[in-house]
Structure 1
Amino acid sequence: MEDELVDGVLNTELLKSLRKKKCWTQEKLAANAGLSLRTVQRAEGKGTSSSETLLALASALDTTSDSLVTFRSAAAEADDIASVKIHRKRSQVVGYACAALGVICAYLAISYSLVNGYVEVGNAAMWYGCIASFTSVCLGVMGVIKRQESANLGSSLAK
């Protein structure tokens, strides 16, 4: 796997523009740069590249490697992190809401069966207990996952 650029990302629009200015296909650029077609596709699509690939692309396109790289500001990085945190928080809220809805539906179904005589009191109590236990385990797992994600986000910020 290629090492991604640490300080910036490839300016994919400029890369495509320079290639098209030469009337080259991605295959032609790959051949002139000594790269695989897949590497050129990845560079143009995702903006990821190793430093060796960056140098090869710049040389083939008669430009400098610095001109192909877009550097991200600290504010843009902070915005991305805030966006990830908001998305995770929304996902967590949806997860808890779905768990609560599932528990409510299960309790209603058992209560309905109990009231209408489909289930005896002892069996209903057993099913209530099973649902409570299952819900506790699910919420515990969700808490562990949240803690793990928070630790991962914190370690990625430290890098």
Structure 2
Amino acid sequence: MKNWLICIDDTDDIGTKGTGEIAEEIAHLLANMSGGHASFVTRHQLFVHPDIPYTSHNSAMCFALRSPLTQAEIHQHAVAHLVAESAPAADPGIAILDVDSYYDAAALMDFGRRAKVEVITKAAAYDLAEQLNIQLTEHGGTGQGVLLVR
């Protein structure tokens, strides 16, 4: 079994199912279908700024998954649920990290801390994802939900 981190953002709109609920559904779906184990979902408060569109609080959700599923299988099932459950006006994104692979944890944590205090571009998120071998994809709208960015 491998260890993964799966993060989603920008799935909701006022009066729709929240990102936390969708993340919990994806965590349970992946754990149940694979015989693996998902952690609880964590909420991450991001920068609140007029240049950043958000529904109510600008937070993203993340959970750990221990599973025999491949990254492609995780992505396929998680994205299908993400797309099916996201609000029509949302700009959902998903990030998947193989925790067992080599990656610069300090760079990832620095990026996360910066996302709490400054506006970060989508290009910066894709650059970091490429450097750290994080699968980062957008699934509707402007794609602004990729890795918690503007």
User: Normalising by structure 2, what TM-score?
Assistant: 0.26
**Rg bigger for which structure?**
1
User: Normalising by structure 1, what TM-score?
Assistant: 0.25
**Per residue, is there more helix in 1 or in 2?**
1
**Per residue, is there more strand in 1 or in 2?**
2
- Which has the higher relative contact order, 1 or 2, with Cα contacts under 8 A spaced 6 or more apart? 2
